Structure 1
């Protein structure tokens, strides 16, 4: 079958699913990320590499959260493809890619600090972290703007919906560069960091508690990233393969529905980022006594330094 387009209506209950999931995600996500921004920007004194990256991650997550109500409304009201749709899609994907990019950079920065501490002293600094974040924002915004200009949306009727079964090489490149390469970097760095921490735990028994906590943090970060994003991008990859093979419309529709549901899971990452990165970070713990005015002094300095390296 060689069709230029398919009638691929979104799953009937999907707008309602979005509304039920995105309402608490939006409220909780905005609360946690705004709180994190307030603490990192207003309640801490010394800027660190972690603090710079966390501020950028919180900004990206907040901006993505603010697109979710419009994304939900676009399905309820079947928003047509147009200038407003392209801006909405662009903002949505820019902030998702930025979130993925920052999480990957944090993993690489953590790897550098743990595996190569001497090199890290020369390569890591808050200013360099700010430049890296700014460079990432610039590249992602420019690339996404170019993608939106080059995309052929002539056969697509609805916003956030691909009805054409013509395979998009641009989409495939975005999937590989925007997710699968970061996934490999993050997985490699995280596994190497965990292995190094386990080795240190065997050598320094008196630091076992702090090292075990650091291993849990790195493992949780990697697990959340994989669980949230991998199903979605596997779905996008499967959709590209089915379009390339000119599969029949019912099969494409099932994959399309899976991609939409997986996107809901991926967007919950905006809340999980706050839980995984902010509330277990040393910087947030240092600020918590100022917020609650009830906490005692932090852990020992050597444990604090080790935990800081893993954030």
Structure 2
């Protein structure tokens, strides 16, 4: 996604970015693949009774695995040119899974908000049907929205993520849609639901405040929000700045170089989401097991009273 220009030499910037990419992305790939493969194995093989949360987490882990695989291809084709169609597929695979992760995280946050805000309705409506439908819609829409990645200004082999078309991926309607629907709206939903969840838990009168602050629910909410902000805010700011470069609004060479480095570093940071999600899996799984045990105890008590 770097800018190419006859006036500016980006050789040093690309060399530095490649060094950072190798130093960070390779450990991210190895650690993320191991953690997400373990998460998928745990979710699919050990949790016999799935809930909406487990369906979302399975899809989130799957999105992370696919993004990591596209990251491996991205690393390879940052040093060599690829056929146009293959390059388009790698680019779309990367961004589909990044935005798939964003919307699945939002779905988990909204689902948690409903369960905390309306606990009885939330527990009564634990069917996985809507979660599966939401995930299917997310995947289909994400792939459809990746179609501009297949528009290129040239038909010769090219470096992936370096030659996105101004008429396709860098067009004004597409970038505005990505920023608003792909980040700002999900960010607003995340902040609102997370803030409401935190306030509800902290103000819960039936529990001691210190116990609430140490609860799994509060940790899951805070970690989820922090990971979202840290991983996805810089890359969308960088996309906005790079768009200004592509539209010739920013013409200063040193600024172009700084933005070029910033967007590459921010994408590396966004990739860390694949590993940081593992922290979310740990606390979410821990909370899920506690809730499952609580439900089991309630069912036993109900049977005892019936008998």
Q: Give the number of equivalent residue pairs.
A: 286
Q: Which residue of 1 aligns with 2:131?
A: 129
Residue 57 of structure 1 is aligned with which of 57, 60, 64? 60
Aligned pair partner of 1:106 in 105, 108, 122: 108
Within 5 Å, give how 1:240-279 maps onto structure 2. Answer: 240-244=243-247, 245-276=249-280, 278-279=281-282
TM-score, normalising length from structure 2?
0.83
Q: Distance in 1 between matches of 2:109 and 2:155?
A: 40
C-alpha contact (below 8 Å) 1:197/1:215 kept by paired residues: yes
Q: What is the match of residue 96 of structure 1?
A: 98
Q: CA separation in 1, counterparts of 2:291 and 2:139?
A: 34
Q: Deviations over 1:41-66 (max 9, x none)?
A: 00112111110000000000000011
SS in 2 for 1:23: helix
Identify which of 212, 220, 223 aligns with 2:214: 212
Return the match for 2:294 from 297, 301, 310: 301
Give CA-to-partner distance per residue, 1:139-160, whole Å, 9 cap, x none: 111111x2224x4544995321
Which residue does 2:34 correspond to in 1? 31
Q: Distance in 2 between matches of 1:273 and 1:63?
A: 14
**Aligned residues of 2:152 and 2:163 also touching (Cα < 8 A):** no
Q: Could you tell me whether the CA contact under 8 Å between 1:5 and 1:164 is conserved in 2?
A: no
1:159 aligns with 2:160: yes
User: CA deviation digits over 1:57-106, x for unaligned, max 9?
Assistant: 000000001111211111222x2561111111010111111111111111
SS of residue matched to 1:262: helix
**Which ranges in structure 1 are unaligned for 5 or more consecutive residues?**
287-296, 306-311
Identify the residue that residue 75 of structure 1 maps to in structure 2. Answer: 78
Note the aligned Cα RMSD (angstroms).
3.0
Q: Deviations over 1:158-216 (max 9, x none)?
A: 3211487786211232222111211111111101111111111xx01358525532222
- SS of equivalent residue, structure 1 residue 125: coil
Change (3 A) 1:123 1:31: same
Tell me which residue corresponds to 2:87.
85
Of the three residues 42, 46, 49, the one matched with 2:49 is 46
Native 8 Å contact 2:238 2:259 kept in 1: yes
Runs of 5+ unmatched residues, structure 2: 299-307
Residues 143-158 of structure 1 mapped to structure 2, 5 A cutoff: 143-144=145-146, 146-149=147-150, 151-154=151-154, 157-158=158-159
For the Cα contact (< 8 Å) 2:68–2:274, is it kept in 1? yes
